[in-house]
Amino acid sequence: MNWSYIIFHTLGGLGLFFMGMKVMSESVQKAAGDKLRKILKVLTSNRFVGAFVGFLITAIIQSSGATTVMTIGFVNAGLMTVQQAIGVGLGASIGTTVTGWIVTLNVAAFSLPLIGIGVMIRLFSKNKSWQYIGELIYGFGILFLGMETMKQGFAPLKESETFVRMFQSIDGSTYASILLGVLVGIVTTCITQSSSAMVGIVIALASQGLINFEGALAVVLGSNIGASSTGVLAAVGGTVNAKRTALAQVIFRCIGVTVLLVIFRPYKDIVDLMIPGTPEEALTVHIAMGHTVFNVTTLILCIPFVSQLTRLVEKIFPDKAGGTVEMPENLVKLQTSMFSTPSIAIMECEKELLNMSDYVTKNLDMLREMSLKDINQVAEISDEIARNEDKIDKYQYQLTQFLIALSVRAISPGDAKIVASRIGLAHNFEKIADCVEHMSQIIDKLTRNNMTFSTEAISVINQILEENITHFKKSVTIFKNGEEVPAYADEALVIRIRIKKLIKDAKIQHFNRIKEKICDGSASIQFIDVLNNLNTMSAENHNVAEVLAGEKY
């Protein structure tokens, strides 16, 4: 027996199959990344809507793993509840069965033409949408070529008595062999990280007569449990809710497998009745139907009890005492799993940018109150602003590193623009926070030295600071809404011009007060420094507004 032929064709076919799935998934995500975000964003607490959306997205991108990572990313970002995520996961399980049906199509003869057509469209089309369509066609061709190559690799194994006996040991004739098949499916899927790939392997084995219908069903059942490992890996190091979501996926898949193992014979008979002909005549189609029936059954069994399942995982993973917020140092470590789904990685960044903006807002509000406090309180506030500023610096560094790493991936032009704009926002937020810290240090120094500005100087500082705070908070509100507001650019320009005039007038009036000896000359430098920081803050606020208006990134 030519083992090199078997090994090379099997591994090569599996590699082509994976590459085909990856290209198909990425091409759809690049074409519809923003639409995917919007679809998932409008999810309600309705579990049935969530299940349908999970099915739809997985059927489109051909990867329940990608949908799982997206979902856990939303839960991590606080944009989806655990209950919603469970519904999406149930629907995604059905969506992943579409791959099984695709590989049952006898289109191996068209794999090379599909690859050729796809590559030609990708290389010679100048339209981005057509380029993505070309990648999708190319992916289909690679997937079918991989299936055919695997089948050729498995073919010689029919001549080996050892392999025939091994596969006969999971023929489903006894419950021990059924459980062995389930175990093989779990382990193999955990290794390949794809239930779709495992189903493809089973169909390739079945096409060569190496595994019978009952054994194939057992392996497929196990592959569904193994598929939940993707969610577990995505949740490692994530938030408590992300871990709850991953555990819920493991539980509902185990429930479905347990129930169908108990009624394995009726389950096999039902699948057989749904497909014309005997399993021997149409084995690959029977396997695809078995995969679908399992996931539909799991959905029917579990969806009425989503609330109870949510409470169960909440008890297993209780909230942390005091609801401590994750430190920003962990940001990149938590989110690198999102790189496989750039559109969701961007939403993760936006969530962290909002967390970053919360610290900036806190510092702005504390700065506003500093002049009203006594010396001890001023010192305490200045220290707290400095601590928050340290966190803001870490947010800015980690977000920038994360977004730069994301930008070198294969992302759509629309996502690339968003990535660039988010890098800019992180920089702008950090610069505004720098200005706040500098001004707090000036106020602290003046207070400790029993120095102060004149009443007129304090009044104009408060007026300009209030303009900046109002502007920043409005920008954060627009950012939370997630839509560009073109008209905001004109409004921001008016605010910027008004603040520049206030600062110019304040400097003129300040020098007049010095001449008239109304203002303490020793505080003159600090007053000008405060005005310069307010001007810088205004410029950064204007930059933020232009990004939110879609005019710069």
Summarize pLDDT for 385-409 with one digit per residue, the tens.
999 999 999 999 888 888 888 877 7
Instruction: Quickly state the pLDDT bin for 364 (edges 50, 70, 90).
Output: very high
Tell me which of 320 and 466 has the higher pLDDT.
Answer: 466
Residues 139 and 230 in one domain: yes
Task: Provide the pLDDT for residue 248.
Answer: 86
- Which candidate, 6, 58, 26, 73, places its Cα nearest to that of 196? 58
Q: Is residue 323 part of a domain?
A: no
- Are both 336 and 292 inside the same structural domain? no
Using CA atoms, how far apart are residues 292 and 221, in angstroms rounded to an integer? 11
Q: What is the pLDDT of residue 326?
A: 46
Q: Which of 289, 316, 343 corresponds to the end of one domain?
A: 316
User: Taking a C-beta distance cutoff of 8 angstroms, is the pair 548, 429 a contact?
Assistant: no
Residue 138: CB partners within 8 Å, gap ≥ 6? 23, 114, 115, 118, 119, 122
Task: For residue 518, report the phi and psi dihedrals to the nearest 5 degrees.
Answer: -80, -35
* Alpha-carbon 217 to chain mean position: 32
Closest CA to 14 of 150, 132, 117, 133: 150
Q: What is the distance of C-alpha 538 from the center of its chain?
A: 33
CA-closest candidate to residue 350, choices 418, 427, 290, 271: 418
395, 356 contact by CB (below 8 A): yes
When divided into structural domains, the chain yields a total of: 2
What's 394's domain CATH number? Answer: 1.20.58.220
- Same-domain check for residues 195 and 83: yes
Q: Are 131 and 204 found together in one domain?
A: yes
260 vs 181: CA distance, rounded Å: 14
Average pLDDT across the chain, whole number: 80
Q: Which domain holds residue 521?
A: 328-548
Given this model, what pLDDT does residue 327 score?
Answer: 47
On whether both 159 and 20 belong to a single domain, the answer is yes
Over residues 413-463, the pLDDT tens digits come to 777 888 889 999 999 999 999 999 999 999 888 888 888 777 888 889 999
Give the separation between CA 77 and CA 97, rounded to whole angstroms. Answer: 28
- First-last CA distance in the chain: 61
Q: Which range in 135-149, 220-234, 457-471 is most confidently predicted, on average pLDDT?
A: 457-471
Longest dimension (CA), the chain: 107
* pLDDT interval class at 94 (50, 70, 90): confident
| 311 and 391 belong to one structural domain | no
Query: Does residue 321 fall inside a structural domain?
Result: no
**Encoded amino acid at 411, one letter:** I
Whether 419 and 525 share a structural domain = yes
Q: Give backbone dihedrals phi and psi of 45, rounded to 5 degrees, phi first.
A: -75, 0
Claim to verify: residue 283 and residue 246 sit in the same structural domain: yes
> How many CA atoms lie less than 13 Å away from 463 in the CB half-sphere?
15
